[in-house]
Amino acid sequence: MRNQLSQRDDFYPQIVKLVIPIIIQNLLSAAVNSADVIMLNFVGQSSISAVSLAANYSNVLFMVYYGLGTGATLLCAQYYGKGDYKAIQIIEGIALRFSMIISVLVALVAFTMPQMMMKLFTNDPKLLAIGSSYIRIMGITYICWGMTEVYLAVLRSIGRVTTSMAMNMLAFGLNILLNATFIFGLFGAPKLGATGVAIATALSRMIELIACFIVSAFSKNVRLDLRCMFTKNKLLFSDFVRLSLPALGNDISWSIGFSMYSVILGHLGTDAVAANSLVVVVRNIGSVFCFGIASAGGILLGNVMGQGDLERSRRYASKTLKLTVIAGFLGGLIVLAITPFVMRFASLTPTAMHYLKYMLLINSYYIMGSAVNTTLIAGVFRAGGDTKFGLICDTIDMWVYAVPLGFFAAFVLKLPVMWVYFLLCTDEFVKWPWVIKRYLSGKWAKNITRENIFENK
């Protein structure tokens, strides 16, 4: 059975069909993060700073789920191109197995040692108290999130991006409504501040998971069936470990390294943390088109390579990269356009406002570096199973260059905050020569599907 994708070189209609729902999802996600920060802005700078620091664990876990999801996607997209739904279901089960083990372990630590988790980022007693309360409740979120992210990633890999978008719209919409309810005490609810943000997130993720099970019950091909976690297939498990776990390791290494930026800024003062929390929101808004194109391009390339058409996959990769460069330029303009509004409405100290202004300017060009690397490493290369390069490249960039440079600049040279931030934001551009060289080599274009995979389970 062949995939529904046309054999004609109709890249742009196909990419548009995939990218629009993904961009909407990214916009909704950015909108929810914006809503959190805007609402907490009325509670106080301490709440913004504490939640921003505590959310680093969510950011790392998101990258874990993203790594598992894209790892499953690179296999599922190619088997979808081949028309093998049974293999897709088994791959989903393998990814869920890893996801649930990680989620449960992190949730247990969040339930039992939230203050120890916060102490990694700050020693401020007020921030420790607010952040610990937030993390303990977020433990529930981690378990639900681990299941939904893998399932929705698999749905995207088989072209069901609209269904995935609808699930995220439900979660994001509920999150905003419940955030307002528990932060401001609407509808008779108590005013819970930062704790209310955690409760809102947990409730919305629980409802999203329930909705996924309901959608799954009516699905003909791929379902969210926890029993598939126990289905064994040696060949697919071997492929998942060989191809997908390097992608997971890549994302974990990068996300923990990126969280070290918050550790550095957290020890430079609450003003730097508060400014950076707003900058992250604006940067996410400016990046939605870039990352949407990267995700959609990866899915489309995987489908094509699964059909065995490697030459067409190279043409599609070139067009994906060109679209990303355009989107990166537009993303920078979006950051510049939003900056005056952020500066007008932010309620921070004068020092934090000074940091905020220049951090936003730096991010107006930083988006381009991030967009190109994400499209190539997490989109194009992973579509062909080329995951080890990204793991090596990002690990060296983060742990040999960026993180040591940041600590040296901040605590040995004791440079001003903005110089430290500027040096940290050179990380993406340092990778460009090696990433672009790998892309031009064409070594990433491979058909990674197998024949007769069910003969030896």
Q: What is the pLDDT of residue 38?
A: 67
CA-nearest of 333, 180, 352, 350 to 279 is 352
* Cα dist from 436 to 11, 62, 389, 395, 440, whole Å: 22, 26, 12, 17, 6
**What one-character DSSP code corresponds to residue 133?**
H
**What one-character DSSP code corresponds to residue 188?**
G
Residue type, 57: Y
At a CB cut-off of 8 Å and minimum separation 6, what does 430 contact? Answer: 397, 401, 402
Query: Cα separation of 79 and 87, whole Å?
Result: 7
* Cα dist from 135 to 47, 106, 286, whole Å: 13, 11, 28
Query: Cα separation of 430 and 407, whole Å?
Result: 18
User: Which tokens in the block code for residue 92?
Assistant: 């989903």
Query: Cα separation of 61 and 106, whole Å?
Result: 9
Percentages of the chain per state (helix, strand, coil), in multiples of 5: 85, 0, 15
Query: Cα separation of 423 and 412, whole Å?
Result: 14
Q: What is the pLDDT of residue 5?
A: 44
Residue with tokens 């629980």: 206
Query: Cα separation of 322 and 34, whole Å?
Result: 29
Whole-angstrom Cα Rg for the chain: 21
How buried is 46 (Cβ within 10 angstroms: 0-12 exposed, 13-18 middle, 19+ buried)? buried
Residue type, 367: I
Dihedral sign computed on CA atoms, order 75, 326, 356, 362:
positive
Widest distance between CA atoms in the chain? 67
Q: Are 196 and 260 in contact (CB under 8 A)?
A: no
At a CB cut-off of 8 Å and minimum separation 6, what does 259 contact? Answer: 56, 59, 60
User: Which tokens in the block code for residue 410?
Assistant: 């901040």
Burial string for 137-168 (b: 16+ CB within 10 Å, else e) reads bbbbbbbbbbbbbbbbbbbbbbbbbebbbbbb
Which residue ranges of the chain lie beneath pLDDT 50? Answer: 1-8, 457
Residue type, 346: A
Q: Are 75 and 241 in contact (CB under 8 A)?
A: no
- Three-class secondary structure of residue 350 per DSSP: helix
pLDDT tens per residue, range 409-422 = 999 999 999 999 99
User: Which tokens in the block code for residue 129?
Assistant: 């108290």
CA-nearest of 47, 431, 108, 66 to 247 is 66
Residue with tokens 């379902």: 223
